[in-house]
C-alpha cells in the first residue's frame, strides 16, 4: 500500500502556485501546506514511475503485482530476491518455455537451486541417410531437486512447476532429495548418498 510519509516534501508546492496576493497569507499557506502533505507521495511516485516497473527497484508488493502482469511462476511465498528475479526473468522464460533450459531456469528461480534433469530426447547427425534415431522411443522426463529440509509444500511446488513448464505431451516424474545444507550450497556430497524424500508424479 502506498501511503503518506512523514516529512516528505512535495516536489510541486501548491503555495508557490497561488496568486501573489496569497504569498504572505499565513492561513492560505498553511491550508495548502496540508494538501501538499497528502499529495507528496503521489507526486513522488510519478517522479519515480519508471523504477516501479523494474523488479529490482520496485516496492515488494508492487513487484508481486508486476508478476501477475507478466505471468511469473510465483506463489507469493518466495523470499524477496527470488521473487524479484522470477518477475524479471518471466518474459524471457516464456520464450523458452517447454525446453530443458526453460524448465531448469523456472525451477532455479523458484527454489534457488538448479535441478538435475534427464529426458528421453536426443539429437545427432549423420552423413548417411536412414541413420538410427537418437534418444528413447518412449518420451519421459525426470526432474530431481536437492534441498535442505524439504517439506511437502516444496514437493508440491516442484510438481506444479514441472507440470506447467514441461512440453505438453511429455510424461514426467519429480523427486525431491533431502541433503545437508553444505551439499545444497554446491560444496560437496553425493545426492545418491543422501536420505531421499521422494514425490513421484506421472502425467
Domains parsed from the chain with CATH numbers: 18-47 (no CATH), 100-203 (3.30.300)
- Residue 117 phi/psi, 5-degree rounding, is -120, 130
172 forms bridges with which residues in the sheet?
141
Distances (CA, A) of 198 to 153, 182, 192: 12, 20, 12
Q: What is the 3-state secondary structure (H, E, C) of 5-27?
A: CCCCCCCCCHHHHCCHHHCCCHH
User: Mean pLDDT over all residues of the chain?
Assistant: 80
Q: Which strands, in side-by-side order, build the sheet including 172-178?
A: 116-119, 141-147, 172-178, 196-197
Q: Locate 31 and state its grid cell.
A: 491550508
Q: How confident is the model at residue 141 (pLDDT cuts 50, 70, 90)?
A: very high
- State yes or no: pLDDT of 143 exceeds 90: yes
Task: Output the pTM of the full model.
Answer: 0.60
Nearest CA-CA partner of 113 in 141, 68, 149, 87: 149
pLDDT in tens, 4-62: 566 777 778 888 888 888 888 888 888 888 788 888 888 887 888 888 888 888 888 88
Distance CA 39, CA 103 (A): 45
The pLDDT of residue 114 = 92
Average of per-residue pLDDT across 85-107: 88
Radius of gyration for the alpha carbons in the chain, expressed in angstroms and rounded? 27
Amino acid at each position: 500500500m502506498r501511503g503518506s510519509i512523514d516529512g516528505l516534501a512535495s516536489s510541486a508546492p501548491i503555495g508557490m502556485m497561488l496568486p501573489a496576493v496569497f504569498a504572505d497569507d499565513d492561513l492560505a499557506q498553511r491550508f495548502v501546506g496540508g494538501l501538499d502533505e497528502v499529495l507528496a507521495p503521489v507526486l513522488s511516485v510519478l517522479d519515480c514511475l519508471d523504477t516501479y516497473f523494474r523488479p529490482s527497484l520496485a516496492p515488494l508488493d508492487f513487484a508481486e503485482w508486476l508478476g501477475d502482469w507478466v505471468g511469473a511462476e510465483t506463489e507469493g511465498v518466495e523470499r524477496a530476491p527470488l521473487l524479484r528475479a522470477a518477475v524479471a526473468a518471466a518474459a524471457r522464460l516464456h520464450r523458452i518455455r517447454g525446453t530443458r533450459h526453460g524448465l531448469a531456469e523456472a525451477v532455479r528461480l523458484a527454489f534457488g537451486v538448479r535441478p538435475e534433469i534427464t529426458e528421453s530426447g536426443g539429437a545427432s547427425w549423420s552423413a548417411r541417410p536412414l541413420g538410427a534415431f537418437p534418444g528413447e522411443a518412449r518420451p519421459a522426463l525426470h526432474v530431481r531437486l536437492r534441498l535442505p529440509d524439504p517439506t511437502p509444500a516444496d514437493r508440491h511446488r516442484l510438481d506444479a512447476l514441472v507440470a506447467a513448464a514441461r512440453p505438453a505431451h511429455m510424461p514426467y516424474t519429480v523427486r525431491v532429495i533431502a541433503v545437508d545444507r553444505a551439499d545444497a550450497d554446491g560444496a560437496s556430497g553425493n545426492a545418491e548418498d543422501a536420505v531421499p524424500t521422494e514425490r513421484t508424479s506421472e502425467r
